Amino acid sequence: MHGNPTWSYLWRSLVPATLDAAAAGGPAWRVVAVDQLDMGFSARTGRHRTLPERVRDLDAFTTALGLTGPVVVLGHDWGGVVALGWAVDHPDLLAGVALLNTAIAHPDDEPIPAPLRAATAGPVLRLATSTTRAFLETTLALAHPPLPREVADAFRAPYRHADDRAGIEGFVADIPGVSTHPSAPELRRIAAGVAALEVPALLQWGPRDPVFRDRYLDDLLDRLPHARVHRHEGAGHLVAEDVDWARPLLGWLGEEVLRDDAPRGEVPGEPTAAAASPADAGAPWTPLWDRLDARADDPGPAVLDMAAEGGPRTVSWRLLARQVRRIAAGLHRTGVRRGDRVSLLVQPGPTLTALVYACLRIGAVVVVADAGLGPRGLTRAQRGAQPDWVVGQTKGLTAARALGWPGVRIAADPLGPAARRALGVDHLLLDVADAGRDEVLPPEPDAADEAAILFTSGSTGPAKGVVYTHAQLSALRDVLGAHFEVGPDSGLVTGFAPFALLGPALGTRSVTPDMDVSAPRTLTARAVADAVRASDAGIVFLSPAAILNVVATADELGPDDRAALGRVRTFLSTGAPISAELLGSAAALMPAADAHTPYGMTECLLVTDITLDGIRAAASAPDAGVCVGRPVGPGRVLVSALDADGAATGAPSDAPGVLGEVLISAPHLKAHYDRLWLTDRAAERDVPAGRWHRTGDVGHLDAEGLLWIEGRLAHVLVTPDGPLAPVGPEQHVETVAGVRRAAVVGVGPAGVQQAVAVVEPPADDAPRRAGLAPAGLAEAVRAASPVPLAAVLVAPRMPTDVRHNSKIDRTRLAGWAGRVLSGGTVGAP
């Protein structure tokens, strides 16, 4: 069922997709696409039809057609409401529900979206909808990218004259913007009925829709919690025009609707929550807050914040445990419930630590997005996750207010009445904690309950929400503690935010050094020494971008600073690749420490590990890429070989020397991506039995079982000689004098791509103009490269990701290189 002001032409891509699927041996689906009365090429009735009438119209049509089921309803816009009305009335015929952007409920105390308010306002209604084509043209303009002229003309075809557009006016007039609207009771009936549906459901969504925003998707998920969901980033209201939605729909039909072995109400094809991972399947499990509770009477330091306003701040185990329980009880008393999403816009430190453990303790799902994503990335993350609650400091709440982020707001900073009103704050954290003084807590969540949504860095595409269960977070704690021998007296200095919160879970004190955690390059060597000295820490976690500045500021260290760093026993660089030279320079500041550089990602924060000595030993190996060591703990790694087209189609194996996509498995591997069903399917395509994840990294295993990373799958060059991973050639180019960093990218069509080296000069060199490299430098680079290079270019500064400031954006560089070599304008990449 189409909505307003489209017609059944909207579904034209579904018909050939079903025919192709049937020709390939799949089931033959019958597609029935209706033009609603007064719309498309259906009859004009001469009056405005209401929602109850439209549901009866569809019922009469399917009765006349003799449909006996099974039926899957598919709807968009107000066609989704009509289709769902039919679904609620025909549970005996219903086999599934598929929806594109639509809405079936709206809070009575809130106005309808502004575009609809404008369209329904008094005399504007007729002028905008039927007298002129304004409403129609505005809708067609919502396509991303813009519709081709012939497609737009096809949508206009049934609505050439004012009389033809009476149905558009009638549909808009029928929007139940107030609870007393004649169609409001029917909408409420349908909304209640949808919550009782137990058939498979698929929701494909365009987040850029100015009317049907993510809040309506959130409402649908509250009613259909078992639904598969995919938010097509970049798509809008006309999601059926913006993306390929038909093939995913057919895949879902085959995987879930046609399966007879999955009882209704369960999510077919997905392991039950109790079997989601080895850690969830009944293995011994202790909550993340278990060791915090065990030290609840300990007056010793638990969390130290060197960056606190007014100077360093220390919180004892006793105070932290009490604050966690009070905030948890207060949040529950305020209305936060198990499964509610709570976005935390608070800088790392004692307050954030207490909030995280309080939310986890009552079963709320913590939403964490790095400030390094920037306003646009953070807005995308917040709207995608649709948190029910937001707890933030003033800076975060200001952004939430200005950018329209969802959620009931709780201020972590003390605010006066005027500031509370300006920021839309409903509660103060001080009051919330005070309300929880009795420390009466609800039952603990289960191991398989969702615990956290952590957003990726955005360095390989739009940031994705990665969902972890309680068992998976606890498994991460256990493998991290065992592998690095973390004990009560270890002490952690954590300049890398994801690990900053694990100190209480590991039962050891943690300290955040004096730095801006959203800008790792603000960390200095002296700040690390101060943090180590204040906490007597034996373990230091830093990111490569932070290490770069720590090494650069080492001359500022005094004798006491160097003595403190000399007591560190374990040093880790985490979050992005790091060169042996840089790791060695940092290790020289901590001469008694074993230097490690674990390999991991937001989806699995600890996959493999290698020491500096291991890296140096691997330097003499003939292998291309960066050696990242062996799997940690019970983790496993396999490789899916690349074919001639650069696709990872090979059967996953541990055969040495095979270039392919890296697959990982571990008890602490994420549960799934948040509302990205198609991404989950891609990450779990053709994997062995159990829980595996395709990382998108390419590399190989050597004969000793060591993993070597050679780049990203998206950055593999497909040359006439076959696929080429970029990191190996880049390592050779970076040995050339006058080259600080290098990237090898492909220019030209896939299959005949030519390799181009882009080099960045040392920072202390005189700035070079972007473009073709000088002849001498180009000659040296070509001589060092193990593969032929079509060109050598110079970029004064490489484009990098927003979070780590160290991962080179090869996709952006490839586009820039193509423009340079085709004679286009030469600017910074």
pLDDT of residue 577: 75
Name the more confident of 107 and 134: 134
Q: Residue 277: pLDDT above 70? A: no
What is d(CA 535, CA 618) in angstroms, rounded to the nearest whole number? Answer: 35
Q: Which three-class secondary structure state does DSSP give residue 399?
A: helix
What is d(CA 179, CA 758) in angstroms, rounded to the nearest whole number? Answer: 62
Strand spans (E) along 768-807:
771-772, 791-794
What is d(CA 603, CA 679) in angstroms, rounded to the nearest whole number? Answer: 12
Question: Cα–chain-centroid distance for residue 499?
Answer: 18
Question: What are the pLDDT digits (tens) for 286-321?
Answer: 999 999 999 999 999 999 988 777 788 999 999 999
Confidence of residue 574 (pLDDT cuts 50, 70, 90): confident
Whole-prediction pTM: 0.91
Residue pair 296/317 in contact by the 8 Å Cβ criterion: yes
Q: Residue 136: pLDDT above 90? A: yes
Q: What is the 3-state secondary structure (H, E, C) of 621-642?
A: CCCCCEEEEEECCCCEEEEEEE
pLDDT of residue 824: 72
CA dihedral for 268, 272, 275, 279, sign (positive or negative): positive
Name the more confident of 39 and 106: 39
Neighbours of 94 (CB within 10 A): 20
Lowest mean pLDDT among 212-226, 274-288, 342-356, 427-441: 274-288
Q: Residue 682: pLDDT above 90? A: yes
H or E stretch covering 743: strand 741-747
Helix axes of 184-194 and 78-89: crossing angle, nearest 10 degrees: 60
Structure token digits, residue 384:
């995608």
Q: Residue 802: pLDDT above 60? A: no
Rounded mean pLDDT of 532-544? 91
Residue pair 756/745 in contact by the 8 Å Cβ criterion: yes
Question: What are the pLDDT digits (tens) for 333-363?
Answer: 999 999 999 999 998 889 999 999 999 999 9
Q: Residue 525: pLDDT above 50? A: yes
Question: What are the pLDDT digits (tens) for 162-193?
Answer: 999 999 999 999 988 788 889 999 999 999 99
pLDDT of residue 763: 74
* CB-based burial label for 703 (10 Å; 0-12, 13-18, 19+): exposed
Running DSSP on this structure, what letter comes out for residue 611? B
Residue pair 495/542 in contact by the 8 Å Cβ criterion: yes
The pLDDT mean for the chain works out to 91
Q: Are strands 465-469 and 672-673 parallel, antiparallel or unpaired?
A: antiparallel
Confidence of residue 639 (pLDDT cuts 50, 70, 90): very high
What is d(CA 96, CA 15) in angstroms, rounded to the nearest whole number? Answer: 18
- For the chain, what percent of residues have pLDDT higher than 90? 79
Q: Could you tell me the domains of the chain? A: 8-257 (3.40.50.1820), 274-469 (3.40.50.12780), 611-714 (2.30.38.10), 716-821 (3.30.300.30)
Neighbours of 645 (CB within 10 A): 12
Rounded mean pLDDT of 602-627? 93
Question: What are the pLDDT digits (tens) for 448-494?
Answer: 999 999 998 776 678 899 999 999 999 999 999 999 999 999 999 98
